[in-house]
Amino acid sequence: MLTDDLKSVLYTEEQIAKRVSELGAELTRDYAGKNPLVIGILKGASVFTTDLIRYINTPMQLDFMVVSSYGSGTKTSGSVKIRKDTDTDMRERHVIICEDIIDSGVTMSNLFPLFSTRKPASLKLCALLSKPSRREVEIKIDYLGWEVPDEFLVGYGLDYAEHYRNLPCIGVLKPEIYS
């Protein structure tokens, strides 16, 4: 089983569902009547984004983009590549970027200036996890699930070399798996 590769479980499926529903309620309150555009960053934020929008109880639109700064490694390459851009015009839209984890901050430090040139009415960041101990670039997270320790996390969309995304929990991967 995939869970055999975990050193520990940080958040259970039930804890994640509760926190995602709370974030959805916050977004519903803050974006009522604004028809926000939610942009999920693939692949990692796919699970979080699709679960989150089910708890946003106001009209909204969904788009995705594919961005990479890790490849198959465990540390950022420092280079951000846009592999698939958004399809929706964000001019004068209230844009919410959904990310699975803010680690180094490199990806968002590249995306925010890019999105700003597209003239959104507002631009906010919603992240399930933040690992401030690894931050290379300071990033403001407007909606946050949890701050997490400096451990290699997998599950609920987070991966190691494209594996473990399908775990319903978030766990700490055993170091012998990735070292």
Residues acting as catalytic residues? 103
Q: How many residues does the chain have?
A: 179
Question: Integer distance in angstroms from the first to the last C-alpha of the chain?
Answer: 20
Write the CB contacts of 174 (distance below 8 Å, at least 6 apart in sequence). 5, 6, 7
Task: Record the tokens describing residue 45, joined without a space.
Answer: 């934020």
Task: Record the tokens describing residue 152, joined without a space.
Answer: 């290699």
Residue located via tokens 């979080």: 48
